[in-house]
Structure 1
Amino acid sequence: MVLDAAFTSVGVNYFQVVVPKIKDFESDFVKTGKVTSLFSFANFDFSKALYIWKNSRSWNVAKQIAANLSKISNNDRESLRLWARESSIENWKSDSIGKIKGVGLITYQYLRMMGGVDTVMPDKIVKRVINEILVKTGKPPVSDNMEFIKTVEEIAKQTGYRSIELCFMSWFINQPERINEMP
Structure 2
Amino acid sequence: MMELSSVIDDYMAKTTGLKKFCDRCLKSERWSGDVVLMVVYAAFDSIGLNYFNSIVPKVMEFEEAFVKNGEVNNLKDLSQLPHEQVKNIWANKRSWSVAKSVASYLHESGRNRGLNDRKALREWARNTSLEGWKQDPIGKIGGVGLTTYQYLRMMGGVDTAMPDNIVKRVIEEILDKAEVKMPTNKDLEFIKTIDQIATISGYRPIEICWMTWLVQSEGDKIRMEKYRDTLDRI
Kept in 2, the 8 Å contact 1:113–1:119? The answer is yes
Following TM superposition, the consecutive aligned residue runs of length 4 or more in structure 1 with deviations greater than 3 angstroms are none
Aligned residue number for residue 67 of structure 1: 104
Q: Secondary structure at the match of 1:119?
A: coil
Counterparts of 1:117-128 in structure 2, within 5 Å, are 117-128=158-169
Larger RCO, structure (CA 8 Å, separation 6 or more): 2
User: How many residues get paired?
Assistant: 183
Aligned residue number for residue 44 of structure 1: 81
2:131 and 2:229 map into 1 onto residues whose CA distance is: 33
| 1:180 Cα deviation after fit | 3.2
Match 2:91 to one of 38, 54, 68: 54
Percent of residue pairs bearing the same amino acid type: 52
Q: Which runs of 5+ in 2 are unaligned?
A: 1-37, 217-222
| 1:90 Cα deviation after fit | 0.6
Aligned residue number for residue 147 of structure 1: 189
Q: Secondary structure at the match of 1:71?
A: helix
1:97 to 2:134 alignment: no
TM-score, normalisation: structure 1: 0.96
1:153 and 1:94 map into 2 onto residues whose CA distance is: 22
Counterparts of 1:141-180 in structure 2, within 5 Å, are 142-174=184-216, 175-177=223-225, 178-180=227-229
Aligned residue number for residue 27 of structure 1: 64
* Greater mean alpha carbon deviation, residues 3-12 or residues 114-123: 3-12
Give the RMSD, CA atoms, in angstroms: 1.2
* Greater mean alpha carbon deviation, residues 93-102 or residues 72-81: 72-81
Q: Which runs of 5+ in 1 are unaligned?
A: none
| 1:54 Cα deviation after fit | 0.7
| 1:70 Cα deviation after fit | 0.8
Task: Determine which structure has more spread, i.e. the larger CA radius of gyration.
Answer: 2
Q: Given residue 176 of structure 1, which amino acid in structure 2 is its aligned partner?
A: M
Aligned residue number for residue 108 of structure 1: 149
| 1:179 Cα deviation after fit | 4.1
TM-score, normalisation: structure 2: 0.75
